Structure 1
Amino acid sequence: MTDGGSPTIRRRELGSRLRRLRLGSSKTIDEVAQALLCSTSKVSRIETGQRVATARDIRDLCDLYGVTDPAVKDELMRLGREARRRSWWRQYSDLGEVTSLLDYQEGASSITEYDSCLVPGLLQTADYARSALRGLSPSIREDVLEERIEVRMRRQSLLTRDDPPRLWVLLDESVLIRHVGGSATMKAQLNKLHQQSRLPQVTLQVVPFKSGAHPGLNSAFSLVEFTGAALSPIVYTEGLIGEIYLEGRNDIDRYREAVDHLRATALSPADSQDLITRMIGRLS
């Protein structure tokens, strides 16, 4: 699976490679900043992927680190160009920090979603998304609402492109019971869940009530992983305090442990499909 040219992923990859070159040249961030007549924070932000290196930055850093191989320079320049491209969702004006999640998911090799209350956006119907967004943000403007629904529906093409990421969805049973938007909307949503869970790149498991307390009981999160050692996984979670991105090794390990526990306690994919079918029958 490839990263689809995601600018955020390219920026992180470029930063990681530049950091390895700096360490290989035994230079400190302070020394690099002094040589380039810039701040240490600029060098640090480039290396962590928080800032895009310009073509001049890349050229100067290559000279400073003693990079002489034209192929290496060309590859770094290519990453820099792709890191500066605008993703299609950047045309929308009011998506907030979730744009970073879109970039991450676009470049992912695998995505693991857990939710205890709602169907994840990658599997939502438009009507379900509309009801969910209105419920979460009662004062949301109509134009902003429709814009976010449009983006949510467009990004679902991620699952049907030539190189889709592996999607593993874990849902608490309460997600199937909570009527978001009424019975008709809920029935259509469950039908879509059943249909999408049959895609070869999608695995869906329901965590039943009989599982009792579990690590995801009061949480919802997305674990996004990438191909290649240069790119570390990220965890995205959100709530009333806003969107949070976690990249620390201890954080990633904690969420991976939670995922392993949830997968072990959840119904099998086949049993989960059977449960969804029964829920659809109750709504008919």
Structure 2
Amino acid sequence: MRHIPAVRRRRLGDELRRLRRSAGLTSGETARLLGWHQSKVSRIETGVSGLKETDLTGLLDALRIADPRLRTLLGALAGIPGSGPGWWKAYDGVIPPGYRDFLSLESQARAVRTLETSVVPGLLQTPGYARAMTLAALEGLPAATVDSLVEVRLARQEALRAARPLELNAVLDEAVLLREVGGREVMREQLRRLVELARLPHVRLQVLPFTAGGYIGLTGPFVIFSFPGITDLDLVVLDHLTNSIYLERKEELEAYDAAFRTMQARALSPEDSLDLIAGIGDGA
């Protein structure tokens, strides 16, 4: 059983309690079905204890939770290795555990809101841009490893083409559009891709122009995940050079939600943003 943050354990416990009550079971009845002490159910539901994979599987079976998407999401939130569709398992020798956690959560999210201040979001990158970013950020990697990391980046983008596609709201600083990652031709192709993807009905792309001056998110990018079929379990992810930080406290989530909405209001409209991106691309 992996360590997971206490806040996430408590919120996961709240969701499991809600599911138990929806199933019409008391904590004592649930414990008897599983051969547990009632105190074990209480510790899980109050977030005092985490769950092993076998415990979570048994509990969800006892509660008659059949929805595979919900079961997978709860496994990911419980910090169980391998939770999720697991397409990235083929890259276990390449991607670090923290990135696997991020991919697991992203694969189960209903919607993603992201602010980027310097680079194109991974979900919108072209192969050329992704390769250039990988080479710049992780110098000295073997060519095969670079190839694998680029494949992972591109595989993530399948979420935008799924039958029930991921909803993506992205706010980009204008600097993202002007930084020549990979050279002029790579950037020209990348800008064309942004215009193409921004026209999808489930993608909303806005640019914060330089004329907007300073703004609340200028100090760093972030991602907000929202999930289907589960209450009040949004997550904020802050990326750093060597790790990612997950924010889950209610006041933190409210602050980042408010900040994102403020930046959307200050940014160009989606239509004007597309015009700006296309204009920069034409001049590249």
**Normalized against structure 1, the TM-score is what?**
0.78
Moved more, 240-249 or 157-166: 240-249
Instruction: Tell me if structure 1 keeps the 8 A contact 2:15–2:230.
Output: no
Query: 1:135-166: per-residue Cα shift (whole Å, max 9, x none)?
Result: 11223332222111101111211111110121
Aligned twin of 1:75:
65
User: Match for residue 95 of structure 1?
Assistant: 95
Question: For 1:138 and 1:159, how far apart are their aligned partners in 2?
Answer: 29
Residues 53 and 230 of structure 1: is their aligned pair in 2 closer, same or farther, counting only changes over 3 Å? farther
- Map 1:1-284 → 2, pairs under 5 A: 16-20=14-18, 21=20, 25=26, 35=37, 51-54=52-55, 57-58=58-59, 73-75=63-65, 83=75, 87-93=86-92, 94-96=94-96, 97-283=98-284
Q: What is the CA–CA distance in structure 1 between the aligned matches of 2:261 and 2:72, rounded to whole Å?
A: 38
Whole-angstrom CA distance in 1 between matches of 2:87 and 2:27: 39
Q: Which runs of 5+ in 1 are unaligned?
A: 1-10, 63-72
Is the Cα–Cα contact under 8 Å of residues 236 and 245 in structure 1 kept in the other structure?
yes
The gaps in structure 2 that reach 5 residues or longer are 1-8, 29-33, 76-82
Higher relative contact order (CA 8 A, sep 6+): 1
Q: Tell me if the contact between 1:46 and 1:53 (Cα under 8 Å) persists in the aligned partners.
A: no
Using the TM superposition, give the Cα deviation of residue 19 of structure 1 relative to its aligned residue in structure 2, in angstroms: 3.4
Q: Distance in 2 between matches of 1:123 and 1:154?
A: 11
Deviations 1:56-103 (A, max 9, x none): 7428x95xxxxxxxxxx3326966588456511122122221222222
Deviation at 1:35, TM superposition (A): 2.2
Matched residues in 2 for 1:12 and 1:143: separation? 41
* 1:117-149 deviation line (CA, Å, top 9, x unaligned): 000000000110111111112233322221111
Aligned residues: 257
Contact 2:223-2:238 within 8 A present in 1 as well: yes
SS at 1:118 equivalent = coil
- Secondary structure at 1:235 match in 2: strand
The answer (yes or no) to whether the contact 2:108–2:227 under 8 Å persists in 1 is yes
State the secondary structure of the residue aligned to 1:74. coil
Greater Cα offset, 212-221 or 237-246: 237-246
After TM superposition, the score normalised by the length of structure 2 is 0.78
| Corresponding letter in the other structure for 1:262 | M
Deviation at 1:220, TM superposition (A): 0.9
Structure 1 residues 278 and 17 mapped into 2: Cα distance closer, same or farther (>3 Å)?
A: closer
Identical aligned residues as a percent:
31
